[in-house]
Structure 1
């Protein structure tokens, strides 16, 4: 998952299509593998500390899960989930060059994933793909563009989510997003200017304690 913190999502010039950093997988089958990250403004992997905290919360949830990584960027969280036993992952990223770099990294790892270069909301508002429903979803929309709530609503309403899905949503720190009633907040973490929230979806709001 990408840490995009600029208020807009502009396409940089071609001279930035080169590796400028590294993504380190921190657990599972691909632990310690280093993967290149393109030189893009605001494009950097979710920090190791946040990923470690999140996957400690998730425990064995990634094992055997179908994973959906939206606004994927480097794909750090989706790749981490595959490393920890996810059976397949679908990454969706709007920047075609970043999407291509993610395809290359999947091929390097030999991981079972596909990448769609395109608009996340357009995809979510279309019929759910053949791999749905997904048991584990990562959602990290660009900040301050009003994308978090419509993305959550489209996920819930479009048949994308398994009955007991886990959804990790990362937003700007000042935003308290409105999410579907069936999403129960499990844990949350603050890191710099971002706020991450892990939700567990119940089959109906009445299932809550």
Structure 2
């Protein structure tokens, strides 16, 4: 009898690509990233622009990296003086890689970094214990995760008044944000539209963001 070959499970390769931190105390540091479907690190060019926008608002702040993926935004914030960075990621292989880097980098920075294995929308269903000063929202493309995340962040108390929300979406993808968010910056790079909003006091209504 001929035996059927056992199908081997595909194991994500790790460390086949690298992420470079572009500013702060860890400037130039290269970190291996998990080779997983859907991981789309924010490019050096976009990160440099974003953190130029935020350059005077990062030090000592509490940050949430909502769809951490490779950790590009959270690690950059830590390097530039954030007091606390919490990363949310649901893919276990990516979580493992992020935690390895967190163990290496935490002793080298003034702030702390924690990696939480969680689905972002489920996490946001629970009221925040303490608001964040800066939130990075860079979800998978072609999904309504950005709009849904924005509303939950606003409704569940995750945003400090005067805080910042960074949103990265496809250029022409529709986006609705709460009315108490004002668009401070907006730029397009290729097919990516990235925006920085500032948050005022909580307000229930939402409005469609132009692009």
TM-score (normalised: structure 1): 0.87
1:103 positional shift: 0.8
2:10 is the counterpart of 1:18: no
Residue number in structure 1 paired with 2:56: 60
Residue number in structure 1 paired with 2:161: 163
Which structure would you say has the larger Rg? 2
Cα distance in 2, alignment partners of residues 119 and 69 from structure 1: 12
1:15 positional shift: 2.5
Q: Kindly report which structure 2 residues correspond to 1:1-209, keeping only aligned pairs within 5 A, or say none.
A: 14-110=10-106, 111=109, 112-129=112-129, 132-203=130-201
Cα distance in 1, alignment partners of residues 148 and 50 from structure 2: 23
Aligned-residue Cα RMSD (Å) equals 1.4
Q: Is the 8 A contact 2:38 2:140 kept in 1?
A: no
1:41 positional shift: 2.3
Cα distance in 2, alignment partners of residues 134 and 204 from structure 1: 14
1:176 positional shift: 3.3
1:63-122, CA deviations, whole angstroms, 9 ceiling, x for partnerless residues?
Answer: 000000011101111110111110011100111110111111111112511111111001
5+ residue gaps in structure 2? 1-8, 204-211
Number of aligned residues: 191
Q: Is the 8 A contact 1:185 1:199 kept in 2?
A: yes
Q: Could you say which structure has the greater relative contact order, defined with CA pairs below 8 angstroms and 6 or more residues apart?
A: 1
Cα distance in 2, alignment partners of residues 184 and 14 from structure 1: 44
5+ residue gaps in structure 1? 1-12
* Structure 1 stretch displaced more, 183-192 or 24-33: 183-192
- The structure carrying a bigger strand percent of its residues is 2
Moved over 4 A (4+): none
For the structure 1 residues 204 and 124, does the alpha-carbon distance in structure 2 shift closer, same or farther, using more than 3 Å as the test?
closer
Q: Is the 8 A contact 1:69 1:90 kept in 2?
A: yes
1:174 positional shift: 1.0
For the structure 1 residues 171 and 44, does the alpha-carbon distance in structure 2 shift closer, same or farther, using more than 3 Å as the test?
closer
